Amino acid sequence: MSTFAQSNQFEAVRRSAYLESYVRSRKRTRSAWRSSTVTSLRRYALAALFCAIFSAVYEHFSHGVWSVWMVTLFAYPLVLGVVPALLERMLDFEASMTSRQIWACGVMTLAVGSCLRGVLEIYGTTSPLIVFYQPVGLALLALALMACAIYLLR
């Protein structure tokens, strides 16, 4: 057998081994992605439950004073966390880990801003820094969507 034939045979074996390892790693990545979607679904559901319980307990001890921001506190992790995670799971959609983390930061920024605004309303005071939570949270959500679009277009 000539050297050229041996090198072609070696190259074919090398390519098939690379392809096989790529398929194996892709399957592992896919299963890791599915488990991370379930994990994020659980985390957002627990965050929504915690926010609902925290809001109920806080308003119970606020002597009848309540705030819309505190009442709707649970909605941020529920609507912006659980619903997209369910859609991601049902549609078999794969978002990058970076976009997921930025999205989580945006959701939690909005939830913390709502909590702080509710606390300050119940106490009857204001703060000039509260106005920054909502735009920053929305900007993080927009950045996460852009990161996801870039990931999908690659």
pLDDT for 50: 96
Radius of gyration of the chain (CA): 24
At 36, the amino acid letter reads S
pTM: 0.76
pLDDT of residue 141: 97
Which regions in the chain score pLDDT beneath 50? 28
What's the farthest any 2 CA atoms get from each other in the chain?
A: 92
User: Which residue has tokens 């930025």?
Assistant: 102
The pLDDT value recorded for residue 28 is: 47
